[in-house]
Structure 1
Amino acid sequence: DDSGRGRGPQGASPRHPFAVLEMSLSSGLSLLSDDEYDPLTTTTYGFGQTIRAAIRAGAREIIAGIGGSATNDGGTGMLQALGYRFLDKEGRPLRCGDDEYMDGSALALIGSIDDSMVDPAVRKTRITVACDVTNPLLGQDGATYIYGPQKGADDIKLIQLEAGMKNFATVTERYLGFATSFLCDNQSFIGYDFSDFPGAGAAGGTGFALRSYLHGDLQPGWKVAADISNAEEAIAESHLVIAGEGRLDSQTLSGKLVDGMSRLAKRHNKPFWVYCGENLLNGEELKAARIDKVFTISSVAKNLNDSISRAKEYLEKISYQSATFLPQIQSNWQTH
């Protein structure tokens, strides 16, 4: 896991060339106690191990969900597990001993990258990345400053992590230039920079590493799920589209599941309802989000604790209440 404790690989079958991997199961916040939160020391090495296990099991296409991470190592731990070696500015290997993993504290030490030990199968594997955020790698809207605090970083650690991430981005740009050009005898050569790529800042910079080193295709999670499940075909044949959300707020409108499903419902002229714990959007925002009706647990619960402890009961209650609007749906369907 993200603190170096062993966990078994998951997601691949030797009989099928397709694997689905979830980063939170190997490098997630949910695996740690509150006092273990520290993005300077957590690592994505375990996530890299699951990718390696999937490839060795025969997967040639991987869908990687990268939400809920506890890390801010730029994906270097993941790359380390896949055979990439990180060298310091003197050319000496970093974190190369047993139980020594790349993490946020090592980013500022990276001087160059050696990929001679990477299995060719890694580069031949198609990786689709399910990613619900569009943050860049660096800056006030980047991986460190937006998500670092919830992973345990204080102001001093944020400064240290951001400086390290900038260094890793610079080394990566140079590495990508060297790897793709024969005009690379100059140390100031400028290569390719994916630090501003939408989603590069996801999972503490793991989105950046997946895009830069593994040619990962970063897509909204809802779109990945919709493609796998043929959701658009089902929506086209339906009379009503329903989605669930914990809380409807401004983040809901930023490419998450509800936003994606509302787009598909609108495309096929289907009514779209949302059941949620709480709604913080006003009428105009709901209209802009293409949401026709919202049913909230908070409208029937006494308080937050009550809504959580009795969620199933209250969901059934608001579902029953919402059924009174079904004749309207039926009437509109028959009219059209």
Structure 2
Amino acid sequence: MPNSRPAVIVVAPDSFKGSVSAAGAAAAMARGARLAFGAAAEIVELPMADGGEGTLDALLATWHRPHLSMATTDALGRPKAARYGSSADGRVGIIEAAEGNGLPDVSDVPLQPLRADSHGVGTIAKRLLDDGAEEILLCIGGSASTDGGTGLLTALGARFLDAAGNPVAPGGGGLGSICSVDTSGLHPRAATVQWRIAVDVDNPLCGERGAAAVFGPQKGAGPADIELLDAGLANLARVLADLAAGTRPPAEGKSGRQGPPYLSTPGFGAAGGLPLALVALLGAETVPGAELVADAVGLDAALARADVVLTGEGCLDTQSLGGKVVDAVRRLAPASAPVLVVAGTVQLSAAQCREAGITAAVSIARGASTLPELTAAADILIEDAAAHICSALAFDSAAPRSLGLHENS
């Protein structure tokens, strides 16, 4: 690389949960990188997320777009204001599902795991459809509901009916009574737009690792509730599989009633089975959350130019390498670019980092620190840690030649 070309530093962190947003972390890391690499360096900030909490803010920050607001309902049907987003041309709409079925919004009353639903999420989706969005990015996580996405589809005009042809009650408690689905009143654009659902877990819909068994307890479900919800999701999956099979020619040598393997599909257990109805009725695609965000913000193209890559999150551990932001960044980074990680805590050994393709990782902690202490000063600590780790690279004896840096730059 010619010495005359300034170094390109791509900064693409996740949020530090409970401390700093992804945009705030990116800005802090960029300041630290600037101290190390000098004013001539080109620093590209791309706040990231894994599809859960903070994804809406990360995407809007990257697109330099404000959030939009509208009236919807929480998981118990009570009025609330929700945030959502849209690209500058209005083509892509962004929904963080917890704005319409989030657990924190219903924590002021006893949890109702059989009643909570995703109708409020569907209200936001309807607004985006009415406004002409061609693609909807649905970021799920932090939900209070286990309704298989029936509430969302109900808000878009679908009807889930019992044996007598009557609509079943909202929430997961009525899923076992569903015998058919009436889609005649579905929003006219619901099945024509592209739906992409960001998931950050690989749990299947049902069973020991399913939506009810794993995530039901945090939503207030006891053993009897879990059994009822799990059976209800399985019933809904069978009904939807039959419906899907009936809308296309059966595969050669197969019965039209077999349908897709909804019960065991990885990721369908996310957010109370929310992907189920959207995939079955609208042809939605489930995508690992970090990959969806990476695609939406153009991470691949940015990293292709990078001389140094800086990423981070609250805790760097083995889960970080299994579909989280750090994993997406290190996989997309060019082999020639060092990958540096700044984290609240680093639980991977140097050998594990090296094996994963991470050049170096540092914690923001300055000696022994409590979580409240780290949280209170996270912004400053992230900047300082980024400056430290970048300085070690920038002033390495080979770095000025390989990165186009100059002494005292």
Q: 1:120 offset after TM fit, Å?
A: 2.6
Q: How does 1:208-223 map to 2 (within 5 A)?
A: 208-223=276-291
Q: Which moved more, 1:118-127 or 1:24-33?
A: 24-33
Taking the aligned partners of 1:85 and 1:121, their CA distance within structure 2 comes to 17
Question: Distance in 1 between the 2:216 and 2:346 partners?
Answer: 26
With over 3 angstroms needed to count, the CA separation of the structure-2 counterparts of 1:229 and 1:37, relative to structure 1, is same
Alignment correspondent of 1:327: 394
Tell me the CA shift for residue 8 of structure 1.
Answer: 4.6
When structure 1 is superposed on structure 2, of 298-307 and 326-335 the one drifting more is 326-335
Amino acid at match of 2:319: Q
Greater Cα offset, 40-49 or 294-303: 294-303
Aligned to 1:259: 327
1:236–1:85 Cα change, 3 Å: same
Unpaired segments of 5 or more residues in structure 1? 96-101
SS of 1:277's partner is: strand
Aligned to 1:7: 80
Runs of 5+ in structure 2 lacking a partner? 1-73, 404-409
1:225 aligns with 2:298: no
Aligned 8 A contact 1:272 1:291 in 2: yes
Closer/same/farther in 2, CA of residues 199 and 172 from structure 1, 3 Å limit: same
Q: Tell which has more relative contact order, 1 or 2 (C-alpha 8 A, sep 6+).
A: 2
CA contact (8 A) 2:245 2:256 kept: no
Matched AA of 2:362: F
Question: How far is 1:35 from its partner?
Answer: 4.4
Tell me what 2:92 maps to.
Answer: 18
- Measured in 2, the distance between the counterparts of 1:5 and 1:152 equals 18
Show the counterpart of 1:53. Answer: 127
Equivalent positions of 1:23-102 (< 5 A) are: 23-33=97-107, 35-95=109-169, 102=170
Provide, for residues 236-292 of structure 1, a one-character-per-residue CA deviation record: whole Å limited to 9, x for no partner: 212111112111223222211110001011x44311111111222233432333222
Shift of 1:142: 1.9
CA–CA separation in structure 1 for the residues paired with 2:396 and 2:115: 53
In 2, Cα distance between equivalents of 1:35 and 1:156: 20
Change (3 A) 1:191 1:30: same
Instruction: Please report the RMSD computed on the Cα atoms of aligned residues, expressed in angstroms.
Output: 2.6
Of residues 287-296 and 315-324 in structure 1, the stretch that sits farther from structure 2 once superposed is 315-324
CA positional deviation for 1:76: 0.8
Determine the structure 2 residue equivalent to 1:295.
362
Structure 2 CA distance for aligned equivalents of residues 330 and 157 of structure 1: 63
1:169 maps to a residue whose letter is A
Aligned residues of 1:144 and 1:162 also touching (Cα < 8 A)? yes
Distance 1:67 1:114 in 2: 27
Aligned partner of 2:341 among 267, 271, 274: 274
Q: TM-score, normalised by structure 2?
A: 0.73
Q: What TM-score results when the alignment is normalised by the length of structure 1? A: 0.88
Q: Distance in 1 between matches of 2:396 and 2:132?
A: 47
**Which residue matches 1:99?**
none
What letter corresponds to residue 319 of structure 1 in structure 2? A
- Paired with 1:14 and 1:240, the residues of 2 have a C-alpha distance of 29
* Contact 1:301-1:314 at 8 Å conserved across structures: no
Determine whether 1:309 maps to 2:383.
no
What is the distance in 2 between the residues matched to 1:65 and 1:126? 14
CA–CA separation in structure 2 for the residues paired with 1:223 and 1:329: 33
Q: Say which SS state the counterpart of residue 49 (structure 1) adopts.
A: helix
Deviation at 1:126, TM superposition (A): 1.0
Deviations 1:24-57 (A, max 9, x none): 2111123232644333221100101111111011
Contact 1:13 1:54 in 2 (8 A): no
Identity score, percent: 34
SS of 1:195 mapped into structure 2? helix
Residue matched to 2:60 = none
